[in-house]
């Protein structure tokens, strides 16, 4: 009993070192994910003829509980353990992304998942936070040892992951990871001329994807000319957001969501806007804005380059993904099938987001010597 009490005491002491605003923000997002899933679940189950109205809400609650466990487990790691965990996960889930492209079931023209019966695993969701950790490790080593080819390794890893994702195809996740690597390269001291060269290469790659990927070309063309059946989902999402007004129709009172495919996943923001209104929509955006501000401000005061880069990259991953999801719902970007972290239905998305935020909590803990200005660490 005394040994158990000591372990519990040690666990509580560790929890006290976590950044409380970030931890509270995480719990709020988990709760909102369950709430919005309850709003979207009846319409989604009716469309696919599932008798249990709150089927997706129940599963989302289970995923959220699992996500909390994953987040706390990840937050308990030390930086050295974090590097090992990130490397191991990347080594496991990159090949799984390739295998999914070849052997995974085809859903809406893409092969991104493994159907495990009770659960559909999307390897790229777990790969993303792990890859951020590996990138931060390589780039931090290049900052300490100028001759170490950390930046080259990071770019090569992006190319390997992009090849696996584009084989599925998953252009959205490829673009998201590219958006995450660029600021890390800048923070690691990459010369401006290389950024210009990279921008030119990225523009050429985007043109090639548009030219040779019919799936991507169709979505871009639909976005540029939002008419006809191809733009049905986005148009219904805009109708739902407009119908919500300032205060929304009320919980469970949404109407347009019933004709909105993927209301519980890719267009959950539109469902939330219809039922809870503009105020709730702005509130949700503000939560992710606070996540960005808090995470990046804390990361900027960390002492070790690896910890700075990893924390900044993980926060960028979560916030950029949220921004893309919301922009698609508002028809500001072509449809990408991007989930809203912690909010959209999906076990892989929930675990990946929880893993990313758990890694952040680990990196941003109050530890002796972790911060450049120890007295201001909790500000």
pLDDT digits (tens, 9 = 90+) for 131-157: 999 999 999 999 999 889 999 999 999
CA dist 163 → 21, 97, 154, 204 (Å): 38, 10, 14, 16
Write out pLDDT tens, residues 12-59: 666 778 999 999 999 999 999 999 888 888 777 877 777 787 888 899
Whole-number pLDDT of residue 377 = 46
Task: Classify 121 as helix, strand or coil.
Answer: strand
- Six token digits for residue 23: 């931890």
pTM beyond 0.75: yes
Write out pLDDT tens, residues 288-303: 999 999 999 999 999 9
Domain ranges of the chain: 19-376
Distance between CA atoms of 366 and 157, rounded to whole angstroms?
A: 31
Q: What angle do CA 363, 21, 317 make, to 5 degrees?
A: 55
Mean pLDDT of 71-96: 95
- Six token digits for residue 247: 């205060």
Torsion of CA 257, 258, 261, 265, to 10 degrees: 50
Torsion of CA 218, 220, 222, 223, to 10 degrees: 160
């Amino acid at each position: 009993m005394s040994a158990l009490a000591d372990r519990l005491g040690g666990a509580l002491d560790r929890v006290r070192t976590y950044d409380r605003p970030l931890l509270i923000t995480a719990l709020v997002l988990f709760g909102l994910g369950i709430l919005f899933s309850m709003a979207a679940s009846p319409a989604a189950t009716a469309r696919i003829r599932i008798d249990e109205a709150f089927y997706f809400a129940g599963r989302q609650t289970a995923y959220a509980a699992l996500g909390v466990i994953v987040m706390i487990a990840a937050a308990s790691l030390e930086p050295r353990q974090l590097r090992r965990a990130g490397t191991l996960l990347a080594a496991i889930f990159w090949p799984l992304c390739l295998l999914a492209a070849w052997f995974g079931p085809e859903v809406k023209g893409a092969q991104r998942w493994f159907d495990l019966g009770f659960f559909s695993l999307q390897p790229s969701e777990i790969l993303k936070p792990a890859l951020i950790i590996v990138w931060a490790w390589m780039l931090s080593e290049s900052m300490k040892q100028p001759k170490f080819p950390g930046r080259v390794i990071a770019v090569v890893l992006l190319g390997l992951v992009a090849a696996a994702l584009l084989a599925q195809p998953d252009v959205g996740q490829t673009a998201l990871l590219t958006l995450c690597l660029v600021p890390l390269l800048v923070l690691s001291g990459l010369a401006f001329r290389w950024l210009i060269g990279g921008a030119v290469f990225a523009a050429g790659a985007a043109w090639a994807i548009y030219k040779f990927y019919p799936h991507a070309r169709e979505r871009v063309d639909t976005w540029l000319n939002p008419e006809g059946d191809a733009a049905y989902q986005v148009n219904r999402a805009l109708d739902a957001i407009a119908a919500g007004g300032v205060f929304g129709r009320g919980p469970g009172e949404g109407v347009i969501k019933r004709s909105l495919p993927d209301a519980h996943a890719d267009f959950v923001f539109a469902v939330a806007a219809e039922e809870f209104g503009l105020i709730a929509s702005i509130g949700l955006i503000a939560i992710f804005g606070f996540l960005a501000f808090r995470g990046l401000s804390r990361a900027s005061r960390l002492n070790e380059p690896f910890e700075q880069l990893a924390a900044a990259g993980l926060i960028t991953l979560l916030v950029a993904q949220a921004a893309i999801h919301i922009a698609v719902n508002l028809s500001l970007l072509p449809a990408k099938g991007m989930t809203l972290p912690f909010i959209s239905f999906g076990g892989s998305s929930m675990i990946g987001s929880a893993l990313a935020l758990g890694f952040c909590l680990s990196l941003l803990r109050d530890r002796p010597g972790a911060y450049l200005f120890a007295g201001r660490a909790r500000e």
